[in-house]
Structure 1
Amino acid sequence: MTVQLTIELPEGAFSALRTSPDAFVQEMRLAAAVKWYEVGIISQSKAAEIADVSRQDFLAALSRFNVSPFQVTPQELAEELSRG
Structure 2
Amino acid sequence: MPTITLEFPASVFSTLQKSPEEFAKEVRVAAAVQWFAEGLLSQSRGAEIAGISRAEFIDECWRRKVPVCQQTAEEMLEDAGSAADTRR
Q: Provide the TM-score with structure 1 as the length reference.
A: 0.84
Specify the code of the residue in structure 1 equivalent to 2:73: L
Flag as ranges the 4+ runs of structure 1 deviating above 4 A: none
Using the alignment, how far apart are the partners of 2:30 and 2:48 within structure 1? 13
Residue in 1 that maps onto 2:56? 57
The alignment covers a number of residue pairs equal to 80
Residue pairs, 1:29-48, within 5 angstroms: 29-48=28-47
Unpaired runs of 5+ residues, structure 2, are 82-88
Instruction: Provide the identity percentage.
Output: 41
State the Cα RMSD in Å.
1.6
Match of 1:78 among 67, 74, 79: 74
Larger radius of gyration: 2
Structure 1 residue 62, shift from structure 2 partner: 0.5
Unpaired runs of 5+ residues, structure 1, are none
